[in-house]
Amino acid sequence: MTLTQPTAARSRPAGTAGDGAPAAYARSWPTLAAAGTTVLLWASAFVGIRFAGHDYSPGAMALGRMAAASAALGAFVALTAGLRRDRAPRRTAMPRGGTLGLIALWGVAWFGGYNVALNAAERLVDAGTAALLVAVAPILVAVAAVLVLGERLTRRLGVGVAIAFAGVALIAASGFTGHADKLGVALAVLSAMLYAFGVLLQKRLLARVDAVTMTWLGALAGTAALLPFAPTLLDELAAAPAEATLGMLYLGVFPTAVGFLAWGYVLSRWTAGRTTAATYLVPPVTVLLSWTLLGEVPAPLALLGGALCLAGVVLATRR
């Protein structure tokens, strides 16, 4: 199974689902599994950042994370390229010119800017608060996808997003989020804006390049943009405990490399609005992981909010 939509599916508007997603993929179990993988890994990233952030500064942790991600993605690309050559000895054209420049911009904004801003935010606010604030991004994407990408905001998607957003609001009102430093809130909101920009740009670029190649090249661009933090990373590597370093490597290999490969797979098959609606599951999953791993106990209202998030996602992502 390739990571790009079949030509027939792309060129046949009549065969699409209600919001423009190909009907063949709208209820595909591989796509749903990939979406679930992305949600779980991205939720774990908020907890991982909180854990490793005690020993690594925002820029250094972002560089270490992206270096690990680039290595993992490079190995995956080499492996899949070898398999393709064994089956069909033809070379896949690499993106060039303006497309390559836009992929680099995407990588710098999301893998570079987003990671540094989120790492800095989680030094000032807890993992649950950060996840809730970043959850503003799907609202930005859903609106911008209509205005910029020409996607149609269906009634089902709109109602689902509204229900999920109400769930996020309930979690925020539950008292779980604790102290919210103003600078930390601002940094988390900046992360949400970079997230939304990244989704919209990626959705456009996936029509020109496959998800694996784009993720790999974007990770390389993000890593290159973070290289000024290399001296700090080397100093902190020497002083940090092994578990913090393993946490940073986990962030690179799993939430970044595996998570973004799964995300690109889903985004190439669903609309931007539908795909980002699924990420409303990230805050309640983060709440549960924080409860289990960090001992941050959610209030009953937070659990109710998580149930609303789930209901909204199910409604928004159904065909």
- pLDDT tens-place string over residues 251-297: 999 999 999 999 989 988 887 777 877 888 898 899 889 888 888 76
Q: What is the pLDDT of residues 77-90, one digit of tens each?
A: 998 887 766 565 55
Burial of 113 (0-12, 13-18, 19+ CB in 10 A): buried
Q: How confident is the model at residue 70 (pLDDT cuts 50, 70, 90)?
A: very high
Q: Nearest-CA neighbor of 118 among 191, 56, 214?
A: 191
Partnered with residue 265 across adjacent β-strands are none
Neighbouring residues of 117: CB distance < 8 A, sequence distance ≥ 6:
58, 187, 188, 190, 191, 194
Q: What is the pLDDT of residues 124-159, one digit of tens each?
A: 887 877 888 788 777 777 777 777 767 777 787 788
pLDDT at residue number 86:
58
pLDDT at residue number 175:
54
Question: What are the domain boundaries of the chain?
Answer: 45-317
Name the percent of the chain lying above pLDDT 70: 83
Q: How confident is the model at residue 189 (pLDDT cuts 50, 70, 90)?
A: confident
Q: Over 90: is that where the pLDDT of 63 sits?
A: yes
Q: Nearest-CA neighbor of 296 among 179, 210, 204?
A: 179
Burial of 178 (0-12, 13-18, 19+ CB in 10 A): exposed
Lookup: tokens for 196: 């939304």
Q: How confident is the model at residue 21 (pLDDT cuts 50, 70, 90)?
A: very low
Lookup: tokens for 211: 């998800």
Q: What is the pLDDT of residues 203-226, one digit of tens each?
A: 889 989 998 999 999 999 999 999
For 283, which DSSP code? H
Q: Nearest-CA neighbor of 195 among 145, 105, 134?
A: 134
Question: Rounded mean pLDDT of the chain?
Answer: 82
Partnered with residue 22 across adjacent β-strands are 16
Question: What is the phi-psi region of residue 97: left when phi exceeds 0, alpha when psi lies from -120 to 50, beta otherwise?
Answer: left
Residue with tokens 């993929």: 25
Are 116 and 194 contacting, i.e. CB atoms less than 8 angstroms apart?
no
